[in-house]
Amino acid sequence: MSIVFLDGDFIQKDEAKISPDDRGFLLADGVYEVTPFYNGVPFSLDRHMARLERSLAWMRINYSLDGLEEIHKQLIRANEFQDAPTSYVYVQITRGAAPRTHYFPQEDVEPTVYAFARTWERPSPERWAQGFSAMTVPDRRWSRADIKTICLLPNVLAFQDAIEAGADDAILVRDGVAIEGAHMNFWGVFDGTVVTHPTTSNILPGITREVVLELADQAGIALEERPIQVEELKDADELFFTGTTGEVRPITTLNGAVVGNGSVGSLTQKLSDLFHGKVQEVRSALEGPIA
């Protein structure tokens, strides 16, 4: 049985009760974060908390994040994930429970804070080495995709469209630009330069994206942050995604056509190696478990 955190308490998941009046449930009026842990050690927890703070501020949800990092670590301990190679903590903060109105509740309402931990499995090295397929799908999200809100319906529908078409993942396209994936950021390699969309209001500013950009820069890899036109995709040497549960994920088939030479590209491989090296470095630095 898993232990979850709800409004100040660590409880069994089947004891967790959230009001049907909760504005997250009724209106998707809330934000969330997903922070990775490797063998019980958090990766970029401070950056995830900073992004959550921004999401809350934009949504005008009043909630102090004091103590939330410790709650993340406690969830990993309580669920005994200290030895799990890959796990994460999901936290969701909604505007709270109040009679349904399209405007904010008139009375002071406490935000609802719910968090859980779970393990996830990365694809085997053999599976990863084959690369993954992706399909372009229209981006039907609102104009503030940079806020990590729990309103993920357009992402859900895009991902489902891709799966039903036999692809592993979706690439969201808006105004002829390949913006990002349904749950990961999107990258291309063109003539030796690694390219990804700049952090405008149209994309989620991924933490993995930020880390990979820093690592690529330190390694002297040519980088460009600019929109990638859909017409350019057929000329890409490599395509890949980045994200918390995808890490660096190669795309070797796009809309049924082979990408580059059809195998995982050398820069994708290099960035993946650098990313795993960074994870290892963070783990060693924080040696001496959080438990």
Question: Which residues lie near ligand PDD (CB under 6 A)?
Answer: 34, 155, 180, 183-185, 204, 206-209, 242-245
Toward ligand PDD, which CB reaches closer, 72 or 183? 183
- Count of CB atoms situated within 10 Å of the CB of 143: 9
- Count of CB atoms situated within 10 Å of the CB of 117: 26
Q: Shortest approach of ligand PDD to residue 160 CB, angstroms? A: 15
Catalytic residue among 148, 234, 270, 278: 148
Q: Shortest approach of ligand PDD to residue 44 CB, angstroms? A: 8
User: Looking at 156-201, which runs of residues are DSSP E strands?
Assistant: 169-174, 177-181, 185-190, 193-196
Q: Shortest approach of ligand PDD to residue 205 CB, angstroms? A: 8
- Give the containing element (helix H, strand E) for 66: none
Q: Shortest approach of ligand PDD to residue 140 CB, angstroms? A: 13
The tokens of 207 are what? 């933490």
Toward ligand PDD, which CB reaches closer, 31 or 109? 31
- Give the containing element (helix H, strand E) for 248: strand 247-254
Task: Respond yes or no: is residue 234 known to be catalytic.
Answer: no
Toward ligand PDD, which CB reaches closer, 3 or 34? 34
- Give the containing element (helix H, strand E) for 267: helix 266-285
Between vectors from CA 94 to CA 92 and to CA 100, what angle results, nearest 5°?
145
Toward ligand PDD, which CB reaches closer, 40 or 243? 243
Q: Which residues participate in catalysis according to the annotation?
A: 148
